[in-house]
């Protein structure tokens, strides 16, 4: 079952805080384009991979699918005759062409991240680690938070 997208950040226009990190502004995704601001995600390179430090608010509580997508576009687009929020972001980042969903430490898409935890008050502040990613991999890409949990199958 595909889950609706709730928030997106385009990593093309991120601010460079230092050489080893970027900060992305995150907005709700709407069929008409960017919606209200949700917060930021700071992405830092560490010896263990990329660490994603969310500072988000106003999201539904629970675990959410969290992914790096291949294109730096947050624009809605036509998906078989239906306007879909942030469809311009393309699929999950998969430079090796695995065409396989999986865990962030496995051999699936490089853009598959650990789930994002949103607390009961709608905030997401718990960092996640993506051990196979480097900062260069996520520049000029999109970062998505999906409405539901990641089923590692179709989103």
State the CATH number of the domain containing residue 78.
2.60.40.200
Rounded Cα distance, 122 and 75, in Å: 25
- The reported pLDDT for the residue numbered 3 is 40
The count of other CB atoms within 10 Å of the CB of residue 13 is 12
- The reported pLDDT for the residue numbered 151 is 60
| Structural domain boundaries, residue 41 | 5-146
Contact 149, 101 (CB under 8 A): no
- The reported pLDDT for the residue numbered 1 is 31
The number of domains in the chain is 1
Residue 66 falls inside a structural domain: yes
- The reported pLDDT for the residue numbered 2 is 41
- The reported pLDDT for the residue numbered 49 is 94
Kindly list the averaged pLDDT for each block of 10 residues, start to end, along the chain of length 155: 56 58 89 86 95 96 92 84 83 83 78 94 97 92 84 57
- The reported pLDDT for the residue numbered 103 is 75
């Amino acid at each position: 079952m595909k889950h609706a997208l709730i928030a997106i950040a385009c990593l093309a226009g991120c601010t460079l805080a230092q050489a080893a990190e970027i900060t992305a502004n995150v907005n709700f995704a709407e069929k008409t384009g960017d919606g209200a601001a949700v917060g930021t995600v700071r992405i830092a390179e560490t010896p263990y991979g990329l660490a994603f430090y969310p500072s988000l608010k106003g999201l539904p509580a629970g675990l959410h699918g969290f992914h790096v997508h291949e294109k730096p576009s947050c624009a809605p687009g036509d998906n078989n005759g239906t306007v879909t929020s942030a469809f311009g972001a393309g699929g999950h980042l998969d430079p090796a062409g695995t065409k396989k969903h999986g865990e962030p430490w496995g051999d699936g898409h490089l853009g598959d991240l650990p789930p994002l935890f949103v607390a009961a008050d709608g905030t997401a502040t718990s960092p996640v680690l993506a051990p196979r990613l480097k900062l260069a991999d996520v520049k000029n890409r999109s970062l998505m938070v999906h409405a539901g949990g990641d089923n590692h199958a179709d989103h």
